[in-house]
Chain A
Amino acid sequence: MAQPRVLVIGGGLAGLAATMRLAELGVGVDLVSLVPVKRSHSVCAQGGINSVNALTRQQGDNEWKHFDDTVYGGDFLQHQPPVKEMADWGPRIIDLMDRLGVPFNRTPEGFRDQRRFGGTLYKRTAFAGATTGQQLLYALDEQVRRYEVEGRVKKWEFWDFLEPVLDASGRCRGAVCQDLVSMKFKAFPADAVILASGGCGLVYGRSTMSMVCTGSAVSRAYQAGAAYGNGEFIQVHPTAIPGADKLRLMSESARGEGGRVWVPRTPQDPRDPRSIPEAERYYFLEERYPKYGNLVPRDIATREIFDICTTDGLSVEKDRLCVYLDLSHLPREMLDRKLGGILEIYEKFQGVDPRVVPMKIFPAVHYSMGGLWVDYERSATGGMEEGSIRNQQTSIPGLYAIGECDYQYHGANRLGANSLLSCIFSGLFVAPSVAGLATASRAGEETPRLFEASLRRQEERHEALLGRRGGQENPYALHQELGNLMTRVATVVRRNEQLAAAYDEVCVMEDRWRRCSLSDTGNWTNQNVVFTKSLGDMFPVAKLILKGALLRDECRGAHYKPAFAMPGIAATDPAGKRREAEAWCDRFEANTRKWLKSTIARHGADGHPQISFEDVDTSLIPPRPRLYGLVGADVIEEVWKERSRGAADDAPAATGAGRAVAAHV
């Protein structure tokens, strides 16, 4: 290929950021998306985007602390160099988006305003009302449109990625995609393919995710041989509005601006919530976590809300689990200015004004921390080496992954307002890596034949689906079954016997999928066949989530198994507390040695995921217990601090950059 050309799959924040930077570097881009890119799921992000800023810096904050909050929030399950690099880039990324015209909220003096988000004590989050994701996406969409007019970018909207095309050496040479209107297939030769296809919420049926978040593109890459990391780490957002078609997100920013979560102390108190006196309200997050209050990380807030409803029986309603998220004490003008977008959603879909009446919310599946395994090259300063062709590369050379569909940045739990940052960062950062590759890549002579074979395979698969006998399995009903099962066993609370049984059930469902019949056998805008195909690709993802969850016998971030939970401190006398805390810390250390590892799934020839474990590079910040100032756990923090001090005194060479770095597969 004379002109370097890159294929980007997905036009959300990550895909658009990569496309913009590549176009700027003079690389031609084909941008494939299931929907017009302006309609990508990034529009649903509400609360904001994190970065150290001028104000927090003067309060003692810096990039390192943002990095530290992110890995602590993620329970240390992410390689640290990429996270450090991302935190370092934060200020530049916000500045860039500001220049692109994102209408960030302003202070009276005209500076960007910030609010606090979960898992940090600093106000790091820049925001544009409560539709920050939409505003960031539009700014990038506009820049990419500009490059499109100049002829540097070609968009393929309403197109579906079907498979990466690999040469004999296993290198990715492009992909085959399908036009969702005409149903025609097309080969896209490319020097590199970048997947930026987002999360896999539809595996759970209803979630906060958009209908395009099927995970099918990632699943197709996985089935073609790409490794998948930490699949079992699925974020369940603490605050969503239940709905028949979707669970709509109620942003963490509602709490960042002073919203309080509570339940009546009397179970199912029938009074109007506004007439329940303060003393009879249980602000359980504030009472249990006085330091972070309502802004504990999402995994913790979700478990607490879940627990207060199920174990304590304090759900606001009897037949529908929910707690109050209360904004009614806050000034209306401020609410409209800073949270207008989400309040309108609540009002529109629930018919109640959340400025006046407390909202009723409950947790919902929201984000996938796991995703395609990607590589990185560590720099001398402990970050990522810019321009290295290894950065963001999957286990298939030439195939890259960025944004929510990679596993790289959020470990076992993502902090709110870090996803917009990781999406834009990974998109910008991958561009020079891929641009370098694009000029170096040479397609072999056999390549045209590879594309022909791939096209033929996809056409045959398509024809076979259309030709199935009628009246058998209904793909939509089967999808609901899968979603219900996954939601029941692989969200907040996980138990081995349920996971094992669910795995077998999913295998049976996958078999049943092979008998799905179509109600539309035409070849024009056939959404029925497209959905059925993507449903088929949900099973491999569901299986790797379940298998990863089954094998991981511990609690870490969003992955919680009661059978392996660390006990609390039961003793009341100082000596007893001390003894229990020592034992707790011993167990924590043993668990870290055993389980601080990423789950790596590879698609086996038999259709089952082959699981191995990868050591995590924690060379910059040593893992520590993740307690967030929980009341009653202070003695553990004390003991842990003493131990860390002791370790530092004993072996000064073992801290910082001198520590051995775990091997990176």
Chain B
Amino acid sequence: MIQLAEDSNVGGPGAADQGNGHSDTMAGRTIHVRVLRQDGPGGESYWERHAVPYEPNMNVISVLQRIAERARAEDGRQVAPVAWDCSCLEEVCGSCTMLVNGRTRMACSALVDRLLEEHPGEIELRPMSKFPVVRDLKVDRGRLFRALERVEAWVPVDGSYDHGPGPRISPEEQEDAYPLSTCMSCGCCLEACPQYTKIEVVQREGESAEEFERRRTAAYDRGFVGAHAISQAVLFNGHPTGRMIADERLQALTSAGGIQVCGNAQNCVAVCPKHIPLTRSIARAGRAATVWAIKRLFDR
């Protein structure tokens, strides 16, 4: 029953945000952005320079939005907007991974003020190097999702009909599992991993979509599964119902492209935007795989 008098609304005057830090000194300035572009899969990549007027509280997403809106390179040439993936803009959907100033990270949480502090004058954007480029900063991360199938990253329930609650779980177990479960499949850990190398399969002339997909999946399955998938296997092998197929996951982790490929560089844990203890997962998976292999030896 309150009476609102002001003639404004949530986006009305004053609702716009103000910057911290650089806003005063940076007003009226220009941000220079260097983008590594590629028109399509297998094409040549090329650098393109853009100039974007500085605004307070910008992130790399808003910079790319301005570039799309302007559709002109710094030299005034009309160019197509840069293609990139994004969705939630709050670092929880995992879409907008790219190399910002050479570092793999989410574009949404890459704040311009901080980037300019680290590296005055220019921001450099490149697509992830471990996945095939679709266009510009957009890459095909299908292999990452395929790895989740390889390690059967799910709880094998009977079905979705009512069977009462799940198993009792202690707060300690929950606190152990929860961080692993926040993995948003962004791929940062894979980009940073020296053992994870790019696999790009190109559709052949006359090859059907199904044949191509089969061949591509087979190629992916020979490659390293990656830290994210190993950590998911650990997550589900720790779940009271999930561990009912623990052997199948360990089988996958000890096959070609499994955990033995890990070179213990520990880059994965350093770049994970969600601070997931990936190296701990890898260590756990390694121990479990060893025990499992020995057990299998004696079971023969």
Interface residue? A72 (CB, 8 A): no
Query: Is B242 in contact with A528, judged by CB distance below 8 angstroms?
Result: no
A265 CB, min distance to chain B CBs, angstroms: 18
Question: Which residues of chain A have C-beta atoms less than 8 A from B5's C-beta?
Answer: 310-311, 562
Query: Is A487 in contact with B9, judged by CB distance below 8 angstroms?
Result: yes
For residues 478 through 535 of chain A, which have their beta carbon under 8 Å from a beta carbon of chain B? Answer: 483-484, 487-489, 491-493, 495, 519-520, 522, 524-528
Interface residue? B134 (CB, 8 A): yes
Question: Which residues of chain A have C-beta atoms less than 8 A from B148's C-beta?
Answer: 142, 145
Question: Which residues of chain A have C-beta atoms less than 8 A from B1's C-beta?
Answer: 565-568, 627, 630, 633
Given contacts A320-B16, A524-B135, are A210 and B89 in contact (CB under 8 A)? yes
Question: Which residues of chain B have C-beta atoms less than 8 A from A21's C-beta?
Answer: 160
Query: Is B68 in contact with A43, judged by CB distance below 8 angstroms?
Result: no
Interface residue? B207 (CB, 8 A): no
Question: Which residues of chain A have C-beta atoms less than 8 A from B71's C-beta?
Answer: 519-520
Given contacts A39-B93, A41-B88, are A519 and B78 in contact (CB under 8 A)? yes
Which of A239-247, A597-605, A610-618, A646-654 has 4 or more CB atoms under 8 Å from chain B? A239-247
Number of interface residues of B (CB under 8 A): 88
Query: Is A242 in contact with B95, judged by CB distance below 8 angstroms?
Result: no
A101 CB, min distance to chain B CBs, angstroms: 4
Question: Which residues of chain A have C-beta atoms less than 8 A from B182's C-beta?
Answer: 129, 131, 134-135, 341
Given contacts A134-B182, A248-B89, A345-B90, are A110 and B69 in contact (CB under 8 A)? no
Query: Is B9 in contact with A101, judged by CB distance below 8 angstroms?
Result: no
How far is B15's CA from A350's CA once the two chains are assembled, in angstroms? 16
Query: Is B17 in contact with A145, judged by CB distance below 8 angstroms?
Result: no
Given contacts A143-B154, A244-B62, A565-B3, are A474 and B69 in contact (CB under 8 A)? yes
How far is B81's CA from A520's CA once the two chains are assembled, in angstroms? 7
Nearest A residue to B150 via CB reads A149
Which of A91-99, A162-170, A386-394, A413-421 has 4 or more CB atoms under 8 Å from chain B? A91-99
Most chain B CB inside 10 Å of its own CB: which residue of A94, A100, A319: A100
Q: Which of A36, A44, A100, A109 contacts B155 (CB 8 A)?
A: A100
B131 CB, min distance to chain A CBs, angstroms: 13
How far is B166's CA from A499's CA once the two chains are assembled, in angstroms? 50
Query: Is A211 in contact with B80, judged by CB distance below 8 angstroms?
Result: no
Question: Which residues of chain A have C-beta atoms less than 8 A from B149's C-beta?
Answer: 145, 148-149
Interface residue? B111 (CB, 8 A): yes
Interface residue? B164 (CB, 8 A): yes
Q: Which of B10, B91, B141, B156 contacts A236 (CB 8 A)?
A: B10
Nearest B residue to A520 via CB reads B80
How far is B1's CA from A560's CA once the two chains are assembled, in angstroms? 10
Question: Which residues of chain A have C-beta atoms less than 8 A from B10's C-beta?
Answer: 236, 306, 362-365, 487, 491-492
Query: Is A110 in contact with B170, judged by CB distance below 8 angstroms?
Result: yes
Query: Is A105 in contact with B174, judged by CB distance below 8 angstroms?
Result: yes
For residues 165 through 193 of chain B, which have their beta carbon under 8 Å from a beta carbon of chain A? Answer: 165-166, 168-171, 173-175, 177-178, 181-182, 184-185
Interface residue? B255 (CB, 8 A): no
A256 CB, min distance to chain B CBs, angstroms: 18
Interface residue? B87 (CB, 8 A): yes
Query: Is B241 in contact with A245, judged by CB distance below 8 angstroms?
Result: no
Interface residue? A399 (CB, 8 A): no
Query: Is A303 in contact with B4, judged by CB distance below 8 angstroms?
Result: yes
Q: Which of B11, B21, B95 contacts A487 (CB 8 A)?
A: B11
Question: Which residues of chain B have C-beta atoms less than 8 A from A103's C-beta?
Answer: 169, 174, 177-178, 181
Q: Which of B6, B56, B83, B166 contacts A525 (CB 8 A)?
A: B83
Most chain A CB inside 10 Å of its own CB: which residue of B138, B165, B170: B165
Interface residue? B162 (CB, 8 A): yes
Query: Is B171 in contact with A110, judged by CB distance below 8 angstroms?
Result: yes
Nearest A residue to B56 via CB reads A244
Given contacts A39-B94, A92-B162, A524-B135, are A101 and B239 in contact (CB under 8 A)? yes
Q: Which of B160, B166, B184 contacts A43 (CB 8 A)?
A: B184
Question: Which residues of chain B have C-beta atoms less than 8 A from A527's C-beta?
Answer: 68, 81, 83
Main SS class of interface, B: loop
Nearest A residue to B78 via CB reads A519
Question: Which residues of chain B have C-beta atoms less than 8 A from A249's C-beta?
Answer: 90
Query: Is A243 in contact with B78, judged by CB distance below 8 angstroms?
Result: no
Taken residue by residue from 133 to 149, chain B's Cβ proximity to chain A (1 for < 8 Å, 0 otherwise) reads as 01100100100010011
Given contacts A143-B157, A527-B81, are A96 and B93 in contact (CB under 8 A)? no
Given contacts A99-B155, A106-B174, A491-B11, are A131 and B4 in contact (CB under 8 A)? no
How many cross-chain pairs have Cβ atoms below 8 Å apart between A and B?
Answer: 271
How far is B68's CA from A246's CA once the two chains are assembled, in angstroms? 17
Interface residue? B197 (CB, 8 A): no
Question: Which residues of chain B have C-beta atoms less than 8 A from A276's C-beta?
Answer: none
Interface residue? B61 (CB, 8 A): yes
Query: Is A320 in contact with B18, judged by CB distance below 8 angstroms?
Result: yes
Given contacts A243-B17, A244-B55, A520-B81, are A211 and B89 in contact (CB under 8 A)? yes
For residues 45 through 66 of chain B, which have their beta carbon under 8 Å from a beta carbon of chain A? Answer: 55-59, 61-62, 65
Query: Is B14 in contact with A348, judged by CB distance below 8 angstroms?
Result: no
Interface residue? B153 (CB, 8 A): yes
Query: Is B162 in contact with A96, judged by CB distance below 8 angstroms?
Result: yes
Q: Which of B9, B111, B163, B236 contacts A489 (CB 8 A)?
A: B9
Query: Is B59 in contact with A43, judged by CB distance below 8 angstroms?
Result: no
Nearest A residue to B163 via CB reads A99
How far is B15's CA from A349's CA once the two chains are assembled, in angstroms? 17
How far is B149's CA from A430's CA once the two chains are assembled, in angstroms? 27
Q: Which of A205, A562, A568 contacts B11 (CB 8 A)?
A: A205
A458 CB, min distance to chain B CBs, angstroms: 20
Question: Which residues of chain B have C-beta atoms less than 8 A from A281's C-beta?
Answer: none
How far is B7's CA from A630's CA once the two chains are assembled, in angstroms? 25
Nearest B residue to A300 via CB reads B2
Query: Is B95 in contact with A35, judged by CB distance below 8 angstroms?
Result: yes
Interface residue? A20 (CB, 8 A): yes
For residues 108 through 155 of chain B, which have their beta carbon under 8 Å from a beta carbon of chain A? Answer: 108-109, 111, 134-135, 138, 141, 145, 148-149, 152-155
Interface residue? A307 (CB, 8 A): yes
Interface residue? B8 (CB, 8 A): yes
How far is B153's CA from A126's CA once the two chains are assembled, in angstroms? 23
Given contacts A95-B166, A143-B157, are A242 and B15 in contact (CB under 8 A)? yes
Taken residue by residue from 1 to 42, chain B's Cβ proximity to chain A (1 for < 8 Å, 0 otherwise) reads as 111111111111011111011000000000000000001100
Question: Which residues of chain B have C-beta atoms less than 8 A from A488's C-beta?
Answer: 8-9, 11-12
Query: Is B58 in contact with A106, judged by CB distance below 8 angstroms?
Result: no
Interface residue? A582 (CB, 8 A): no
Nearest B residue to A337 via CB reads B175
Of the A-B pairs whose beta carbons lie under 8 Å apart in the complex, a sample of 26, sorted by A's number, is A36-B145, A39-B87, A41-B88, A44-B93, A99-B241, A101-B155, A103-B174, A103-B177, A105-B171, A107-B171, A129-B178, A135-B181, A145-B145, A206-B11, A210-B87, A210-B88, A320-B16, A321-B14, A349-B90, A349-B111, A351-B111, A477-B69, A488-B11, A492-B9, A519-B68, A527-B81
**Smallest CB-CB A-B distances: 3 pairs:** A487-B11, A310-B6, A519-B71
9 additional A-B pairs beyond A145-B154, A341-B182, A351-B21, beta carbons within 8 Å, are A38-B185, A39-B93, A39-B185, A205-B11, A244-B62, A315-B14, A476-B65, A487-B12, A488-B9
Interface residues of B (CB under 8 A from A): 1-12, 14-18, 20-21, 39-40, 55-59, 61-62, 65, 68-69, 71, 78-81, 83, 85-95, 108-109, 111, 134-135, 138, 141, 145, 148-149, 152-157, 159-160, 162-166, 168-171, 173-175, 177-178, 181-182, 184-185, 236, 239, 241-242
Interface residues of A (CB under 8 A from B): 20-21, 24, 35-36, 38-41, 43-44, 92, 94-96, 98-101, 103-112, 128-129, 131, 134-135, 138-139, 142-143, 145-146, 148-149, 181, 204-206, 210-212, 236, 242-246, 248-249, 303-304, 306-307, 310-311, 315, 317-321, 337, 341, 345, 348-351, 362-365, 428, 470, 474, 476-477, 483-484, 487-489, 491-493, 495, 519-520, 522, 524-528, 560, 562, 565-568, 627, 630, 633
